[in-house]
Amino acid sequence: MFKWIGLIFGAIWKGFFGGLTGWFIGSLIDRLFAPKVRIYTQHYQRSDFMESLLILTAAVVKADGHVDRTELAYARDYLIRSLGPQQAQEALNRLTEILSENYNVESVCRELRESSTIHERLLLIQFLFGLASSDGELHQAELNLIENIAGWSGVSRGDYESIKAMFTSYRYSGGSTYQGGSSYGGNSYGGGSSSYRSHTLDSDYQILEIPSSATDDEVKKAYRTLAKKYHPDRVAHLGDDMRKAAEEKFSKLSQAYDNIRKARGMK
C-alpha cells in the first residue's frame, strides 16, 4: 500500500525520479509492517515433531474419558527409549502440562500435514495405535480419534488401514473378527472395546494394502512399494531412536509378506 502512495506523491513532487524514490521508500515500509509468516523447513525439527506427538498422545489418552496409567507408562517407556532419561523427563513434564489443557486436535493435525513428511506422520499414527492398545483394549473413542487424526493429517485410507491392521486385525475372544468398517474420518465403529488374541492371514493382506484376490505379482509389487515407504531411513533425520521405532512397521510388512508368500507357495 505504502509503495503506491510513495509513487504518487513522489511523482507529483519530483516527477519520474521522485516517483521511483517514493516507490522504493514505500516498499521498505510495506516490508516493515508486513505480517510475519512462519516458514517451515522440509522436515519437522525433532522438537517440533515431539511437541505434536505429546499433544496427540494426550488427546488419545483422554479419549475414553479417563487417564489410564498403563497408557502413560507406554508413553513414558517410548520417550525414554527415544530421548534418554533426562530429555524424557522433560517431555513427561510437558505431557503433564498438556494433559491439563485442551488443544484443537484438528488444527494441530492440519499444521502437521503442512509441516512434516508423510513418513513422519505414518510413524506418529503407528505410535498412537500402540499407545491406545497398550492396556489390552482398543476403545471405540480411541479408534475414532486416531482415524480422525490420520484423516486430518493427510494419511491416506490405505496407509491408515495398513497400520491399523498391525493392531486390530486379530481374532478376538468371543469368536468374532473385528472388521473396523468405517467411513474415513467418521464415527461408525462398533461400540465398546475388544481384546485380541490371534493373528489371521487376512490381516497380512490388509497390512500390504491389497485384497486376498491379488495376484502373486501384485503381492510382490505391493511389498516393494510399502517397503520403500516405511523404510526406517525415511525418519532417520529425527534421530536413531525414532528410526528404531519405525522398524516395527517395517518388520510387520516383511512378516506379512512372508506369511502370504508361504501360504501361496511363492518363491
At residue 247, the pLDDT reads: 80
pLDDT confidence of residue 5: 61
* Domain definitions of the chain by residue range: 1-37, 46-264
- pLDDT < 50 positions in the chain: 2-3, 34-45, 170-198
Burial class (CB within 10 angstroms; exposed 0-12, middle 13-18, buried 19+) of 263: exposed
Question: CA 153 to CA 248: how far, in whole Å?
Answer: 21
Cell for 225? 512399494
> What is d(CA 166, CA 207) in angstroms, rounded to the nearest whole number?
7
